[in-house]
Chains A and B, each alone.
Chain A
């Protein structure tokens, strides 16, 4: 009897998941409120399960897709929306390498095929002091990483963005040491909150939001959530990320949202939610402390900023 083998709670959770999933797939076929239509291809997905959604109102699409930090298209926040049309997302492939049993170059279709998509409504907090609420469409990063069978040497995962100054004109200036590199500790990468997104607002990701495949780690500052990923590498040593290279004193590897640890030049205690007049208090781990605080138990977060 399956119910004897599978712990009862897990089984219940799965059952609920399947039920809501079916309902959602049916719902997704209809134009829902999130699918008012922003010009992108519609995606089929199920709604965010329990802890993976916030009831805070999502930031309007025009701001989510119009106000971006994506230095590959310029350092101004409006440049990505103006210039990212030059990015070609098809065909796309991702190279997997390092400490795993199944390295190789995978097409985007290979990457996505086995993974049912779901919506995740997450807060996003930029290191600059502003924030948004974004309805992403994606799937858990853990599910993908497991397919590559990481070995015991895999302590970290490193991600790399496309490097092609033809498509990404911002790369013609060396404001950062291109290509953009980010990384996570293995347990952070495998955490259920961590997803790879392929869409937002029910549609395929706009280029300026990191199409066709981007990371979303909601408890860390936005720059950790690397866009337009072309390489995933399992490593034993902590990756050196682009922002650490650019300014090691200001940007650390962890970059967890933390109102008590200021940026050396400005306070991180509060944030301006896009669309709101008053600033609001920034929450520890961007409000995801309950889910992720245990990952950092015993660590000095002032030192590991």
Chain B
């Protein structure tokens, strides 16, 4: 997750790296200081899940943004952002396994099979796992053309993550609806790439 090779400008990588870590630090501080309200564990689990989703959408926004603007630098942050999305998804998952279920594997197994929102969340994480594992330069080289095909799984994971959120809210679907809308917008931008006037199409490197 180190930012090496992330940007030619040097400082951007570390800054984004720290910015991505900030929500977790804030949550950890809040837990330690008992400032997360009456139900801190719920806040922790929910927030790490939401950050995973946000970072996933930001990662997916990189390519449309480049097409839209012609900027190349977002592309260099894509791996860092994607890995952070996976990192928050993992913290979210561990928080569920530990603080919600206390590693009661029987109960966890039943949850995954019986509850669509858990099934969706678990599947999303499992789809992100091979992407994280093949995110290195070495793996990119070794997989060649298959790498790109494999990494298209990120769209499936994003859809499942949004569904996971949708199915868990009791009544007020506004928050998951926001993510669903953003995701739909990103899909549309992929299907019909738009470019701001005057922006030249550059060679796309991945």
* Nearest CB on B from A54, distance (A): 19
Query: Pick the contact of B39 from A130, A262, A265 — CB < 8 Å?
Result: A130
| A272-B42, A279-B100 known; A175 vs B37 contact (CB < 8 Å) | no
A128 touches B170 (CB 8 A): yes
Contacts from A to B (Cβ < 8 Å): 62-63, 66-67, 71, 75, 77-78, 128, 130, 175-176, 246-247, 262, 265-267, 269, 272, 274-275, 277-279
Chain A residues with CB under 8 A of B100: 279
Query: Pick the contact of B41 from A62, A267, A269, A277 — CB < 8 Å?
Result: A277
Interface stretch (choices B14-22, B111-119, B135-143): B111-119
Decide yes or no whether B32 CB sits under 8 A from chain A: no
Chain B residues with CB under 8 A of A176: 171
Decide yes or no whether B167 CB sits under 8 A from chain A: yes
Cα separation A63 to B42 with both chains bound (whole Å): 14
Nearest B residue (CB) for A69: B170
21 contacts between A and B (CB under 8 A): A66-B37, A66-B38, A67-B38, A67-B39, A71-B171, A75-B171, A77-B39, A78-B37, A130-B39, A130-B42, A175-B171, A175-B172, A247-B171, A265-B115, A265-B167, A265-B168, A266-B117, A272-B41, A277-B99, A278-B102, A279-B100
Nearest B residue (CB) for A76: B172
Cα separation A134 to B114 with both chains bound (whole Å): 33
Chain B residues with CB under 8 A of A267: 107, 110-111, 115
Cα separation A68 to B96 with both chains bound (whole Å): 23
Contacts from B to A (Cβ < 8 Å): 37-39, 41-42, 99-100, 102, 107, 110-111, 114-117, 167-168, 170-172
Cα separation A190 to B36 with both chains bound (whole Å): 40
Cα separation A272 to B99 with both chains bound (whole Å): 10
Cα separation A78 to B115 with both chains bound (whole Å): 27
A266 touches B115 (CB 8 A): yes
A75 touches B168 (CB 8 A): no
Cα separation A239 to B203 with both chains bound (whole Å): 66
| A75-B171, A175-B172 known; A265 vs B41 contact (CB < 8 Å) | no
Chain A residues with CB under 8 A of B42: 130, 272
**Closest 6 pairs (CB-CB, A-B):** A67-B38, A75-B172, A63-B38, A274-B38, A175-B171, A175-B172
Chain A residues with CB under 8 A of B170: 128
A279 touches B102 (CB 8 A): yes
Cα separation A71 to B39 with both chains bound (whole Å): 18
Cα separation A262 to B168 with both chains bound (whole Å): 14
Chain A residues with CB under 8 A of B172: 75, 175
Chain B residues with CB under 8 A of A71: 171
* Nearest CB on B from A67, distance (A): 4
Chain B residues with CB under 8 A of A277: 41, 99
Chain A residues with CB under 8 A of B114: 262
Cα separation A278 to B99 with both chains bound (whole Å): 7
With contacts A62-B38, A272-B42 known, what are 19 further pairs, Cβ within 8 A?
A66-B38, A67-B39, A75-B172, A77-B37, A77-B38, A130-B42, A175-B171, A175-B172, A176-B171, A247-B171, A265-B115, A265-B117, A267-B110, A269-B107, A272-B39, A274-B38, A274-B39, A277-B99, A279-B100
